[in-house]
Chain A
Amino acid sequence: MATPTNLVIIGNGMVGHHLVEQLVESGSLESIRVTVFGEERHRAYDRVHLSEYFSGRDAESLALCDGDYYAHHGITLRTGEAVTRIDREQQEVVTTQGRYPYDQLVLATGSFPFVPPIPGNDSEGCLVYRTLDDLDAIQAAAKNATNGVVVGGGLLGLEAANALRGLNLDTAVVEFAPRLMPMQVDNEGGELLKEKIAALGVQVLTERATQRIEPGDTSRLRMVFQDGKILETDLVVFSAGIRPQDTLARECGLTLGERGGVVIDDQCRTSDPAILAIGEVALWNQSIFGLVAPGYQMAKAALATLTGGDMRFSGADMSTRLKLLGVDVGSIGDAHGTQNPGARMFRYLDPLTQVYRKMVVSGDGKKLLGAMLVGDNGVYDTLLQYYANGIELPKEPASLILPQQSGAAPALGPDALPETAMICSCHNVTKGSICATIDSGAADLASVKGATRASTGCGGCAALLKSVVDHELAARGIEVDKSICEHFAYTRQELYDIVRVEGIKTFSTLMASHGNPETQRLGCDICKPAVASILASCFNEPITDAAHVPLQDTNDTFMANMQKNGTYSVVPRIAGGEITPDKLVVLGQVAQKYQLYTKITGGQRIDLFGARLEDLPEIWTELIAAGFETGHAYGKSLRTVKSCVGSTWCRYGVQDSVGMAIKLENRYKGLRAPHKIKFGVSGCTRECAEAQSKDIGIIATENGWNLYVCGNGGMRPRHAELFATDLNDEQLYRTIDRFLMLYVRTADRLQRTSVWRENLEGGLEYLKEVILEDSLGLGSELERQMQRVVDNYQCEWANAISDPEKLKRFRSFVNDARPDPSIIMTSERGQPRPV
């Protein structure tokens, strides 16, 4: 047996690790012995998602492989051990621990953050943003800091700024160029980006050259700019670009580029045939690639070079889409239009919604050469496909970036993509290879992902991958699985119909008759709450009844929202926001007695936070005695009907909006639905109740009420649409009855009315036909159903406290009366809060 080749890899970053994975997968380890050196103490981790370290992910969850992966495959991994020298004559690498021979060497040392040569740049509090250790240092420095500055307004700079903001620092970005992200966007785009980011509370200073950093007066440091202006700050994060980590290569005499980087050919070979270079340290065709996908391509080419394959590196597309500080930015190909003489530009700028889109198109108007997006990446996928696959543009290319009056944007359907279309550039997966995987048996998204690894890198291709897979499955007559979960092969809507038509009243009956016999038939946290909600919408039995108890989410079980420390919140109903002084006093007394934190909510009522599980029954007994009832703040059900003060007091009011809000809240309270429902009622068009941002919005007119539907605040705000005008009280109730019941029947689980509406075939017109014109003849049935829910209403809390069996649930421990000792409160602004 021939002695295996000794392969040494310097650098255990993303690309070095990818090469190891490739070696493992190709089965080459029998003839190659691999040793990997990593300067960092952590084994390879996902640097692309580094910032998530600040939002709760730890080193272990960012790691790119299990702790025993290397050992398991017989690979030696030496973390925390930097290579200090390469001895090309002896073919050895040198570390502080020893010398190690190699036959083949791969440089995957990545890059390091460039720190501009400003006097004082090494002061305490001057940091960089590249490694987990850097982030630890930033976190430590932020502890006693109130403000921070990021030097550099590029992509990584903005990401660093977001991180500082997340650490509760007043944050500023200082950029030398006249605009942010000078590489990706032009002046218009940069201006817009600046406005958007400033609106988020991050100060943006462009055209500022820092001259020196010295000790500050009010803060730890003071930055002095060329124009003499100063800025005081507690910490500075340099993010002024990256430089290839090519010191080892330089010292051992490999050929480097003029501005650094180890020169490689298509096979990733450096000027020494025994040494390859991949990733951010490598310079190919005069270019450094600062993204992970090209690095992965190089790793694949290097594998071919080492094992005799024929894959070559042939450059890579630098198109990127990002969400920086919540702002979409996209850049495709020649976004500035400077590399293609004769190119033409299309630009669209909407100053109101702050959206900017630019297309660079070939002289004949047929090909997309580049694009730039700020504020909305909705058309990114489509444009990228036109660009990457050279697809001929439509007759009026502008239609691709103009807002669409109705319907969806003109997406390029998955069927229009050629087989060669690159779907996932991280893992080099084309539409063709996805089709091949499906043809060889993959029948859903998860198996396609598993087989091709598509969408497991940067994740940017997830939406496109899903649409291609769905489309290809459908084209092969494979039904796309819409099952709610592994226990039921039905959608929520189908389950609803089964329950209603067959009159099924419990989860166990439904499971016995329609559950998947291949499972243990216990259900899960997806189907149980969904079925509980359906049963409640149909029959409205108390959710605390024994048959329903195990189905509920903890919030419904204990009829209170669980807080992060395991305590609960108490939110009594305050219909329409109207409350008597007596009741206000009671709320105060209860909060004092049980040491609860009190807050006025965004829904015009009062939330009492921090209640211990075992105190909930007593708290509610006292509240119910004072005339309160549950506010269903925990349920997927009616929350609040927000009102304005209306004609009773307001000089402009034309109807009694408070009275109407109270009537509506009392009518629909307790209605269980696919998601929560919110109403608003305003007394005139000034709209002080913000009704047009609610699921149901009502605005008073001289002649009655205008009804708006399907609005939403929250994550994706949507204006409600005008549905009917000048309704009298009776017409209003009837229309809302029908509307809500149709929603309850047909929406998917956890789908707010706004999303339901957007997915509804036929749109608003169809809704109007069914509800206002009764085109399906369903009207009276929907009304009857609603009436049954209204008639069966009872306060769940009143029901629970009258039943000792149900109250047993509210013990912290079944065998001990003491409260949970791990719940510890401290005090802030005169009120309790969790430590």
Chain B
Amino acid sequence: MTATALKQDIPPKAWQLLCTKADLVAFSGVAAWLETSEGAAQVALFYLPGYGNELYAVDHFDPFSNAYVIARGIVGDLKGQPVIASPLYKQHFRLEDGQCLEDDSVRLRTWRVSFKGNEVWIES
């Protein structure tokens, strides 16, 4: 297979504007709608001013309750890593890579996000 064919199979990742800093809530989460080439996704965005990457994006979908609620959980740190606790059944997910701490086999999708001035950009 040639390099060009590969490129067509997997569309290149691109950065897009998601929302602004004013939409975020410090030390908590909000949900945002993301259109990607693979369809729409609901993204949970967490803003931790002064900590690590400051911005984290994980799936808003909670695989334990099958509801879109992750952004409405409580942010914290466990064993030195920032985590989000699901508001329904309280499982913890690492913000860094979406890994569930209670169940090795469960991991939330994550996206790269960053600030451009007051704008929040996401890679999808």
Contacts and interface: CB of A to CB of B under 8 A. Distances in A.
Nearest to A816: B33
Given A486-B78, A522-B82, A550 B30 contact: no
B78 A524 contact: yes
Interface string B26-57: 11101111000000001001001001000000
Nearest to A63: B105
B9 interface: no
A405 interface: no
Nearest to B28: A550
A554 B69 contact: yes
A769 interface: no
B2 to A, nearest CB: 35
Contacts of B103: 61
Interface string B54-87: 0000000000010111001111111111110101
Contacts of A549: 25, 28
Interface string B5-30: 00000000000001100011111101
Interface in A799-819: 808-809, 811-816, 818
B90 to A, nearest CB: 6
Contacts of A487: 76-77
Interface in A495-527: 519-525
Contact of A519 (B19, B24, B77): B77
Contacts of A61: 103
Contacts of A822: 42, 67-68
A562 B72 contact: yes
B122 to A, nearest CB: 10
Contacts of A813: 31-33, 42
Contacts of A45: none
Contacts of B105: 60
A783 to B, nearest CB: 34
Contacts of B82: 520, 522
A507 to B, nearest CB: 9
Question: Max chain B CB contacts within 10 Å: which of A520, A564, A809?
Answer: A520
Contacts of A546: 26
B25 A815 contact: no
A558 interface: yes
Contacts of A812: 31
B18 to A, nearest CB: 6
A820 B80 contact: no
B42 to A, nearest CB: 7
A566 B85 contact: no
A378 B84 CA distance: 38
Nearest to A507: B27
Nearest to B105: A60
Contact of B68 (A486, A555, A566, A811): A566
Nearest to B40: A821
B74 A562 contact: no
A557 interface: yes
B26 A550 contact: yes
Interface string B94-124: 0000000001110000000000000000000
A553 B72 CA distance: 8
Given A525-B90, A814-B31, A815-B32, A520 B80 contact: yes
A296 B17 CA distance: 58
A528 interface: yes
A822 B33 CA distance: 13
Contacts of B65: 564, 566
Interface in A35-82: 60-61, 66
10 contacts: A528-B74, A552-B74, A554-B73, A554-B74, A555-B87, A564-B67, A564-B88, A811-B30, A814-B23, A816-B33
A-B pairs with lowest CB-CB distance, top 4: A524-B76, A520-B77, A554-B87, A550-B27
Given A520-B77, A522-B48, A566-B69, 6 more contacts: A522-B76, A524-B83, A554-B72, A562-B87, A566-B67, A822-B67
